[in-house]
Amino acid sequence: MQDSIGTRLESGVSGNFGIVRAIACYTVVIVHAYGVVLAEVGRDQYVHLFGFTPDWLAVNVFFLLSGMLLSYSLDFKPAFLPFVAGRLIRWMPAVFIAVLLAVLVVGPLMTRLPLEVYANPAALGEFIVNIISFQNVDTPLPGVFADNATGPSLFVPLWTMKYEILFSILLAASVATPVWRMKWVIYTGIAVTLVAWAIVFHDAGPLRANRPFEHMLRFAGAFALGIAIYRLRFRLPHSLPILAGLFAVALAANNTPAGPILGLLALGYGVAFVGTMKLKVPAVLLLIGSASYGIYIYAFPIQQILYAISPEASPIANGLWTIAFTTPFAVISWLAVEKPLNEWRRSHLHMKKAAVAA
């Protein structure tokens, strides 16, 4: 039998996906540190690879993983309502607790206002609702981080969650209907999305200037490629030469119109390849991989706190200290909140244990 991505997934060789996500989270942290400390530096001055900055590539990885692993989970039990309920149980409690910690701990300690002014029910209620609904994640706490270089936001990275929720619902709806079994419909949809992706992202044209459209298509392309990799998993060899060849072609095309789409294809195969490598991974790294969602939630508030305390620190220092402080918070969130709820949702909603807590 061919050594493929699919055979490795079926045999349970998939524990590296969480580590891939954690590395992507840490990449976002380091790049965000430059925005937090050097807000005057525009993104056009950042390093770009395949048409994107490293943190944007990392976010593409998040959506690649979601498309791949949610397809894997839905193949086991294609039930719409249990799946959607399971996703909300997976996502929302950790966010809600982080928001409460921000309101009850970070705010009172960091606000410049008197506590009786800070504790305005209307302002705090607006903050809580806007963050947990993902509709306005830039909403600040009263008087908190008002002097920070990048502004007073605490949960900026959560702006991508509304796309994650939308794509997950659409995927679940397709799996729960005959559409998922109509291969030509699925592959046509994926192909159209990737062709549109290649057309739009080949340069910095007017379509990319439309930010909502640009975000929707960028994430949809990565998510669709993740679905395609899962659907074609038994036809995709697990091959180091193929991985090297894809990245060689993509790197050769870097800074050309073909760079973004070739880079996405190489990145997608790379995620699947690394995620299914047969490695003896230390338990502590597996734990950090499982806790990667918490890194995503807690990192930016901690970056903002560190900047408020020590604005003279370099971006690298801010990023590394953020990782050092965020990782324990994320692990505690995983062990105390996310893992118990994951086990509950799998036992009560009959969800398959995915390769990583997607």
Residue 66 near residue 358 (C-beta atoms within 8 A) = yes
54-98 per-position pLDDT tens digit: 999 999 999 999 999 999 888 877 788 888 888 888 899 999 999
Task: For residue 4, list its beta bridge partners.
Answer: 237
pLDDT of amino acid 137: 93
How do the domains of the chain map onto residue ranges? 5-349
Rounded to an integer, the average pLDDT of 111-122 is: 93
Residue 222 near residue 264 (C-beta atoms within 8 A) = yes
* List of residues 6+ apart from 340 with CB closer than 8 A: none
Q: Which amino acid is at 7?
A: T
Residue 142 near residue 123 (C-beta atoms within 8 A) = yes
Tell me how far apart the alpha carbons of residues 298 and 323 are, in angstroms, rounded to a whole number: 10
- E strands, 226-270, where? none
pLDDT of amino acid 175: 82
pLDDT of amino acid 10: 83
Tell me how far apart the alpha carbons of residues 222 and 227 are, in angstroms, rounded to a whole number: 9
- The token pair at 130 is 């806007």
pLDDT tier at 278, thresholds 50, 70, 90: confident
Phi, psi of 4 (to 5 degrees): -120, 170
This prediction has a pTM of 0.90
186-242 per-position pLDDT tens digit: 888 888 888 888 888 876 666 666 778 888 888 999 999 999 999 999 999 999 999
Whether the predicted pLDDT of 130 surpasses 60: yes
1-30 per-position pLDDT tens digit: 678 999 988 887 666 888 899 899 999 999
The residue among 147, 223, 158 whose CA lies nearest residue 189 is 223
246-277 per-position pLDDT tens digit: 999 999 999 888 888 999 999 999 999 999 99
Tell me how far apart the alpha carbons of residues 27 and 276 are, in angstroms, rounded to a whole number: 21
Q: Which residues of 201-212 are buried (b: 16+ CB within 10 A; e: fewer)?
A: bbeeeeebeeee
pLDDT of amino acid 185: 79
Whether the predicted pLDDT of 355 surpasses 50: no
The residue among 197, 194, 220 whose CA lies nearest residue 207 is 197
pLDDT of amino acid 115: 93
**DSSP code of 106?**
I
Tell me how far apart the alpha carbons of residues 217 and 320 are, in angstroms, rounded to a whole number: 32
pLDDT of amino acid 183: 80
- CA-angle at 22, arms to 251 and 54, nearest 5°: 35
293-351 per-position pLDDT tens digit: 999 999 999 999 999 999 999 999 999 999 999 999 999 999 999 889 888 877 776 55
Exposed, middle or buried by CB within 10 Å (0-12, 13-18, 19+), for 267?
Answer: buried
